[in-house]
Structure 1
Amino acid sequence: MHISYKAHDPQKFGLSSQTMIEYLTKEEKTKEAEVFYNHEQQNISPNDAYNAIDNNKGSHGKDVSKFYMMNISPSQKELNHLENLAEKFANESKQDDLTKEEIKKIYVEKLLQEYTYKVMDDYAKNFERDKTIDDLVYFAKIEHNRTFKENDKDVIHNKRIDAKIKENPERKNEFDRDYKRNSKGEIIRNGLKKEGNNTHIHVVVSRYEKKGEQRDKASLSPMSKARKSKGLNNSKVGFDRDRLNQKSEERFDDMFDFKRMNNETYQKRKENKKGYDQDKSNYYDYERQSKSNKKKNDNAIVSSIKDRVKEEAKELKKEFKDALKSNGVDVNLPTSLKELQWKIERDIKQELGMDNLKSPKEILDNEIKSIRDNLSKGIDIGY
């Protein structure tokens, strides 16, 4: 069992819950998808749902979340267990006006509705402020399908493949093999239905308790993590999500006689995740240290190579200077190509008695090329 929470963002979506409620009704295009339920009423219209949420006002400002979305998601094993219970019920049922599959679906939804009431009662009590389900304003809805979203990793991966094909259309057949697909061969895109049993429960719950005057209503936020803090008049504030997850799992096991393996418990999964997160952290620390050490080693190697090249360049300079002297040319080795050109041009003019005449460009270029080839190792690095 997994329960997640998402706060309403008033700056992004406005103050009303209408957008959220309407979004939930459009997820599945069926008549049943158009209604909500709570522990007091069935078949609640979207209009009644968001009006009840919006009209349950408290004393907070406009920039504070007024309601929350909860996702109650049974695991595949838990869903399979409910399916088995529904199968047994359908086999014993004598309702001739419904098919076996219709009976099973109705039965599973009835079980999940009863489970929702227990979870929401535990949700209210989890604030430790003497609250129960009767103090909540909430509306729930069961859905059987999930779709891929823009931020799903397979959707993101396939967008990268799209970009590669756009840049290299001639390699389309090659890149086409890299797409992530479902069992039907369909490329996974935003909005594509996920395969398998994806039954889950959406709950939209108001931030404020149902009873009392607007200015006096208690604020019940599942996003508050200050579990051991005290509010006004020494009242407790905060919400222990770990405890609710643990309690919700126990509720499921007790209600439906589900035999949960030890490694499937919330506590064990949490411990495994904590261990995994620590291992991941240790791995990244090791990687960072390795990269740091590698960088230091690389810098030392590069520095050593530079020193060696400098020494070799100095030797080349000395050898070249000695060679010039042995041929009767007394010249200091230039430090730049421009200076080298000037010195060569000057020496050629002096030897030919053409101090006041310009030398032909072709002669100068040939001389420069010859000297550059001999000095390539030294000149290329700036010596």
Structure 2
Amino acid sequence: MYITITPQKLGSHYLQSAGDFVDYLEKENQGKTQNEMEAFFDPYDDKISAEEVKTSIDENTTKLKKKEPKFYSITINPSARELAHIADKPSALKAYTRSLMENYAKAFHREIEGRKITKDDILYFAKLEHQRRYKGTDRAVRENRPYIQKIVRLQHEMVLIKKGEMEGSIQTKQQSIRELQQKSPHQQQGKMIEEGMIKEGDQRHIHVLVSRKDRSNRYSLSPGSRYKASTTMLHGKEVKRGFDRDQFFKAAEEVFDRKFQYRRNYVESYQARNTFLKHPERYFKQLLRLPAPEKKIAFQLLKERGVKLPLTTIPLTSSQLAGKIMTKLKKGITKAIHSGSIEL
């Protein structure tokens, strides 16, 4: 599970309206009939229109300054293994999202009129999406880039030949392009993977738009608070503040595992991510100490996420964790962890 929470920006400026972001999330509905369209949902309703989302978020911004985010985006990205486990059940991810947002509310170290914050205080709208496109940062695109660059150069040369500004055979250039496309290391259904191409397989994920203000439009609730739990004085009163990210992330994982009876492998866990970031040598030791069946799954998951080094030769001491081997290993493991874990 990979979850991100981000304030919505355009460059260095916070968006003043949710309109553009909502329109972006409507892209998969283009060309579909009303019955085929995927609607927004909230804690109570599965059929919320894009216009209602825009209006509700944009009108819930009282006293927020231009330099403050008006809303946050939470992206819930189950791994391929997690999606296969829950099977093709749209209602499952929606139910999980609602449970997750209950824990989002609990993660705030805040009170409203003397009581703890609950899901009923959080104004949010969520959307299930079924497609993903390759980004320029994806490994397949990066490793195909040298081939793409050569193809672009050949295409430019073909244009010059047609204009009479360069000598050569267009047919020869076309054949070279076909050979480069066939030799590219990453392909999908016989075509070279490029930025913008739709990814094959189960790509279900959830986008959540959550207002910075509570439903009453009176209290500011920021998951980006640098405080985990603290108190401050405001207008002569002691006020609690903070958002416990660790609590939220752990709950996100625990809720999924409990709701779907999912047996999480070590490399998929929030605990593993934290261990790797703080004590990489402990992370590698734990990998090698896993029971044989769990270790096999762990190595397979890492391999699927691009870790190329033979993990049976992982260095285990601090002195061995230096140099080129450690650099390559950390780079691969970092990407693997990010593709199957949680971060803010």
TM-score for both structures, normalised by structure 2: 0.66
- Distance in 2, matches of 1:48 and 1:26, equals 17
> How far does residue 257 in structure 1 lie from its aligned partner after superposition?
2.1
Mapped contact 2:109–2:244 kept (Cα < 8 A): no
Larger deviation: 108-117 or 151-160?
151-160
Task: After TM superposition, list the pairs within 5 Å mapping 1:93-242 onto structure 2.
Answer: 105=88, 108-129=89-110, 130-167=116-153, 172=177, 175-176=180-181, 179-212=184-217, 217-232=218-233, 233-242=237-246
Q: What residue in structure 2 maps to residue 63 of structure 1?
A: 67
Task: After TM superposition, list the pairs within 5 Å mapping 1:67-86 onto structure 2.
Answer: 67-83=71-87
Mapped contact 2:109–2:229 kept (Cα < 8 A): no
Q: State the number of aligned residues.
A: 260
> How far does residue 282 in structure 1 lie from its aligned partner after superposition?
8.2
Q: What residue in structure 1 maps to residue 269 of structure 2?
A: 265
Mapped contact 1:138–1:204 kept (Cα < 8 A): yes
Query: SS of 2:191's equivalent?
Result: coil
- Distance in 2, matches of 1:176 and 1:256, equals 41
> How far does residue 253 in structure 1 lie from its aligned partner after superposition?
1.8
Mapped contact 1:28–1:145 kept (Cα < 8 A): no
> How far does residue 131 in structure 1 lie from its aligned partner after superposition?
0.9
- Distance in 2, matches of 1:58 and 1:160, equals 50
> How far does residue 196 in structure 1 lie from its aligned partner after superposition?
1.8
Residue identity (%)? 34
User: Cα–Cα, structure 1 residues 274 and 180, in superposed 2: closer, same or farther, change >3 Å?
Assistant: farther
User: Cα–Cα, structure 1 residues 282 and 24, in superposed 2: closer, same or farther, change >3 Å?
Assistant: farther
Per-residue CA distance 1:11-65 (angstroms, 9 max, x = gap): 6574110100110110354444451001122210001011100000132211221
- Determine which structure has more spread, i.e. the larger CA radius of gyration: 1
Q: What is the one-letter code of the residue matched to 1:268?
A: A
Q: What is the one-letter code of the residue matched to 2:81?
A: K
> How far does residue 157 in structure 1 lie from its aligned partner after superposition?
4.2
Q: What residue in structure 2 maps to residue 357 of structure 1?
A: none
* One of 37, 42, 50 as aligned partner of 1:38: 42
The alignment's C-alpha RMSD in Å is: 3.0
Q: What residue in structure 2 maps to residue 53 of structure 1?
A: 57
Query: SS of 2:24's equivalent?
Result: helix
Q: Higher relative CO (CA 8 A, sep ≥ 6), structure 1 or 2? A: 2
> How far does residue 205 in structure 1 lie from its aligned partner after superposition?
0.6
Q: What residue in structure 2 maps to residue 8 of structure 1?
A: 8
**Structure with more helix by fraction:** 1
Query: SS of 2:248's equivalent?
Result: helix
**Structure with more strand by fraction:** 2
TM-score for both structures, normalised by structure 1: 0.60
Q: What residue in structure 2 maps to residue 373 of structure 1?
A: none
Query: SS of 1:231's equivalent?
Result: strand
User: Cα–Cα, structure 1 residues 261 and 159, in superposed 2: closer, same or farther, change >3 Å?
Assistant: closer
> How far does residue 283 in structure 1 lie from its aligned partner after superposition?
8.6
